Structure 1
Amino acid sequence: MRFEPEAKHGANNGLNVARDLLEPIKQEFPWISYGDLWTLAGVAAIQELGGPKIPWRPGRIDGFAAQCTPDGRLPDAAQGADHVRNIFYRMGFNDQEIVALVGAHALGRCHRDRSGFDGPWTFSPTSVTNEFYKLLLNEKWVWKKWDGPKQLEDKKTHSLMMLPTDYVLIQDKSFKKWVKAYAEDEQLWFKDFAAAVSTLFELGVPTQQFVSSEPWILKGSDEQ
């Protein structure tokens, strides 16, 4: 993502904000690769916002502009279940892991000037909880009437949103059973989410080049 055109692929819109925030750290510690820095920042953020501790290992080697992937390999939020599966199956994930990963939408919001979509998924977009699944199951979702891309909003407050790719998680039977499981058991989701994110962050990484063969677990502020 450091290079064009990949940096400007539709699914990467807005990520330049996070990359720019991390650049001063990279300049201060030039020995760390961008791949390690960005993924370490991701697991640290999830942990500091109340989520699970995700196993993480260093060893990612940065690529070159000529190695940029073509557009279309990332999820398109306007698509359906077949598209979601095609994207994640290619990376080796199954339906359970797909639902676990999409639960990351507990965090943050969409910005119209970036993705075109607008609004948060939950009422606490700076906390990692299983509220995404609870809201997806229990709220009444209707199509938003506006001049933006197709998205849903909660009928009660009109302040929350869901993407078409979120909504398919309760329309598809195989996906929905995992939505129900994670809505009922936050610790189960934490466990499965941590495992799936760790796998995602290590895809394509030659593990024999890791500094350590054992994953690191970031310690919280209350640990020594």
Structure 2
Amino acid sequence: MTTTMSFLRRTQPLRRVAFSPSLAQRVSRSHPNVRRFTTEPPPPPPPPPKSNTALYAGIGAAAVGGLALYFFTDFGKEADTAAKSAVQTTKSATGFVPGKEDYQKVYNRIAEIIDDAGDYDDGSYGPVVLRLAWHSSGTYDKDTKTGGSNYATMRFEPESNHGANAGLNVARNLMEKVKAEFPWISYGDLWTLAGVCAIQEMAGPKIPWRPGRIDGFAAQATPDGRLPDAKLGADHLRTIFYRMGFNDREIVALSGAHALGRCHRDRSGFDGPWTFSPTTVTNDFYKLLLEEKWIWRKWDGPKQLQDKTTQSLMMLPTDYVLTQDKSFKKWTKAYADDQELWFKDFSDVVSRLFELGVPTQQFVTSEPWIMKNVDEQKK
């Protein structure tokens, strides 16, 4: 994974709108002697397509129309609203309003892709997909109200090429397959829903989630340096996470996602998994930090630790500091001792992480949803 995932690892309903006749048509029908407009009003739109494929394609075309407006007008600040309005207008015209069941279908498709990893890493795309969700959300700055998951700006350079995002083209390309099947979903909603799916399908806790993010433009991409640098220490972690609005307890809770996945030499420069079960969400990350003897690895790569017993696991400097800083260590021990406590805190903080940067009024539901995992749907 990259150095910041070094910070997470390998790691509705809308309303159906019936067509309403124009004022001119209503007047001409009720008062036939009234002079009509010189130019006849346009005919009613065709009935909604029966095929969801055609309907989704229309919605995708509307989004493209929103992009065209951005590039061919001087009103860049209004582009997001225009794009959103174009999509919503098409949804209304076709009579399609995605509800929870539609997003569940997207979730299910993501789950299929995560499980179809073949020889990739440890046989699952879950950790890298989770890392995409985290890195696209963790750029938020609470003071400037920029960054976060709302605009999915990692689609654009230079943000896509930031060092912290190395290797995430794998996850983005996987999600393009889902986007092609469900073009009505925004990238921000797709990526964060994928993160929810990854956690839940890898035996983790339920993550409350709701849709409402809209797609932005390259001008809204965030500067480099907003994600954690695994080579640094406690002060750096606090700078990064306090900027998002999180406290020490929440920093430690989020760090537990390092139970998943592994680092890659050709991405972050670091190498190896954090735990012996890198495709299962457990509190092993905390247990190993406290129970194993960690020594500095002697190699030609960046500074990282390895377990003395097997020399097959690794920890990053930003991980090890969780046992050295007094405030961090308190929560590291608490989560090592009680997985249910960590699951509870992790669920809460990840849900809020995935909503960073999204105005409350954009969400299509006031209360987040709980999506069913694949096994629950079989019952």
Under a length normalisation based on structure 1, what TM-score does the superposition of the two structures give? 0.98
SS for the counterpart of 1:142 is: strand
**Residue in structure 1 matching 2:222, options 45, 69, 89:** 69
Return the alpha-carbon distance in structure 2 between the equivalents of residues 45 and 11 of structure 1. Answer: 20
Match of 1:189 in 2: 342
Match of 1:118 in 2: 271
Question: What do the CA deviations read for 1:105-135 (whole angstroms, capped 9, x no partner)?
Answer: 0010001011110000000000000000000
**Residue in structure 1 matching 2:170, options 11, 17, 21:** 17
Residue identity in the other structure for 2:376: D
How many equivalent residue pairs? 224
Question: What do the CA deviations read for 1:132-167 (whole angstroms, capped 9, x no partner)?
Answer: 000000000001100001100001100000000000
Question: What do the CA deviations read for 1:37-62 (whole angstroms, capped 9, x no partner)?
Answer: 00000011100100000000100111
Match of 1:91 in 2: 244
SS for the counterpart of 2:160 is: helix
Let me know the Cα RMSD of the aligned residues.
0.8
**Residue in structure 1 matching 2:332, options 161, 165, 179:** 179
Identity %: 81
- Residue 14 of structure 1 and its aligned partner are, at CA, apart by 1.1
Return the alpha-carbon distance in structure 1 between the equivalents of residues 321 and 169 of structure 2. Answer: 28
Residue identity in the other structure for 1:86: T
Q: What runs of 5+ residues in structure 2 fail to find an aligned partner?
A: 1-153
Question: What do the CA deviations read for 1:80-121 (whole angstroms, capped 9, x no partner)?
Answer: 000000000000000000000010000100010111100000
Match of 2:365 in 1: 212
Match of 1:157 in 2: 310
Return the alpha-carbon distance in structure 2 between the equivalents of residues 59 and 86 of structure 1. Answer: 28
- Residue 209 of structure 1 and its aligned partner are, at CA, apart by 1.4
Return the alpha-carbon distance in structure 1 between the equivalents of residues 362 and 240 of structure 2. Answer: 27
**Residue in structure 1 matching 2:356, options 203, 209, 215:** 203
Return the alpha-carbon distance in structure 1 between the equivalents of residues 376 and 195 of structure 2. Answer: 20
- Residue 4 of structure 1 and its aligned partner are, at CA, apart by 0.7
**Residue in structure 2 matching 1:80, options 219, 227, 233:** 233
Match of 2:179 in 1: 26
Return the alpha-carbon distance in structure 2 between the equivalents of residues 190 and 63 of structure 1. Answer: 32
Return the alpha-carbon distance in structure 2 between the equivalents of residues 4 and 209 of structure 1. Answer: 26
SS for the counterpart of 1:202 is: coil
- Residue 28 of structure 1 and its aligned partner are, at CA, apart by 1.2
Within-5 A mapping of 1:43-62: 43-62=196-215
Return the alpha-carbon distance in structure 2 between the equivalents of residues 213 and 96 of structure 1. Answer: 26
Deviates more, 1:114-123 or 1:214-223: 214-223
Return the alpha-carbon distance in structure 1 between the equivalents of residues 162 and 266 of structure 2. Answer: 14
Return the alpha-carbon distance in structure 1 between the equivalents of residues 328 and 275 of structure 2. Answer: 20
SS for the counterpart of 1:112 is: coil
Return the alpha-carbon distance in structure 2 between the equivalents of residues 209 and 80 of structure 1. Answer: 36
Match of 2:376 in 1: 222
Residue identity in the other structure for 2:340: Q
Deviates more, 1:189-198 or 1:10-19: 10-19
Within-5 A mapping of 1:133-152: 133-152=286-305
Match of 1:103 in 2: 256
Residue identity in the other structure for 1:138: E
Return the alpha-carbon distance in structure 2 between the equivalents of residues 92 and 37 of structure 1. Answer: 23
The structure with more radius of gyration = 2
Return the alpha-carbon distance in structure 2 between the equivalents of residues 4 and 59 of structure 1. Answer: 24
Under a length normalisation based on structure 2, what TM-score does the superposition of the two structures give? 0.58
